[in-house]
Amino acid sequence: MIKIVTIAGARPQFIKAAPVSRAIAQQEGLQEVLIHTGQHFDQNMSEVFFDQMEIPRPRHFLNIHSLSHGAMTGRMLEAAESIMISEKPDIVMVYGDTNSTLAGALAAAKMNVPVAHVEAGLRSHNMEMPEEINRILTDRISRILFCPTEAAVNNLSREGFRDYPCKIHLTGDVMYDASILFEGKARKPANVRLPLSFVLATIHREANTKNPARLASIINGINRVAEKKPVIFPIHPRTYKVINGNDLPPFSRNIKVIEPVGYLEMLYLLKNSRLVMTDSGGVQKEAYFFKKPCITLREETEWTELVDAGYNKLCGTDPDRIHAAALEFLTGTLDFKEGLYGKGNASAMIAKALSDS
C-alpha cells in the first residue's frame, strides 16, 4: 500500500483535491492522508468545500494563517515535518502555488520523501508574485510533476527538467475534472437576487488588494462596466478588509456585493454569467470551462493559451482597458474550442501514475 500525504490549505487546492482524492480512493493500492494547513480559515473559503465536494476530512489541521509569508511558510514547514515523521508517507502531494504548497514540498524533500506537484510547470514570469516563487521552488524539488498543459511541459523543458531526476506527466487540468464532476450540482447562491444577465467579478490577489491605488483603479473599471451590465461581486475577506480600511471609490449601484460563495454556488454564477472579470488564475480557467470570456485584472497570466486563443484579455488595473475589453466581449461572440485542458481524466491519470511510482 502506497501512503500519500496530501497537503492543502487554500480554496483552489480544495477544488483540485476533490476529483484527485476520489480517483485515489478508486485506485487499488493507494491510501491518502490529508493535512489542512488552515491557510484559508473562513467558513466560506474552506470548510464549505469539504461539505459540498465530499472531500475526505483532514486527519491533521494546522490552523496556520494570517501571518507574513515567511512566518506562515516556516510554521507550516515545521508542523508538516512533525506530522510526516509520524505518518511516514511514501509520497507527499501538493497543489498549485501557495505557501502551503512550498512548505509541504520543502518538509518532504528535506526528509527525502518524493514530492508530487499537481499543476507543475506554470509560469507567469513575474518574480514579484509570491506564487511564482512558490511554484518554481516546488517544481525544482519535486520528483513527480503533473502538468496541466503542453505549455507547462515546455516551460519545464526549457528550464532543464529533462536532465533532473524527476518524471514529467502531461495529464490535463484537474480543475476541468472538478467542473465536469460538479456542474450538475451547481446551485444558486441563497438570498441573492440575480439579474437575467450579469458580469461576474472577483478580486483577491495580494498585488491588487495590498495596494489601495491599484484596487481603486480596478473598482473604477468595474464601475464603468456596470454602466453596461450589472455586476455580481462575491467579495474576498482580504478585499473587504482593504475596502473598509481605505478611502476608495464607492461601488456603482449596479454592482451587487455578496458574501464569499461555496464552490457549487460559484459554478452557478459562472454558468449564468455573460462575462467574467478576475485576478484569479483558477477562475480564468473556470470561465473557459463554461465558455465565458474573461478579463484578467493583471498584466500577466500563467494560462497563456487562453490569451492566445482570444478568450482572455490581460487588462491590468487600467479602467480604460477594462472598459474597452468588456465592450468588445459583450458585443461580440467567441467560438470556444474544446481540449485546451485535457479530456476530463487528469485525476485518474494522476492516481495511476502515483500507483506506478
| Active-site hit among 117, 204, 236, 323 | 204
Strand 255-258 and strand 144-147: the pairing is unpaired
The grid coordinates of residue 239 equal 478585499
Does the annotation mark 204 as catalytic? yes
Q: In whole angstroms, what is the distance from residue 172 CA to residue 117 CA?
A: 13
Question: What residues are annotated to the active site?
Answer: 204
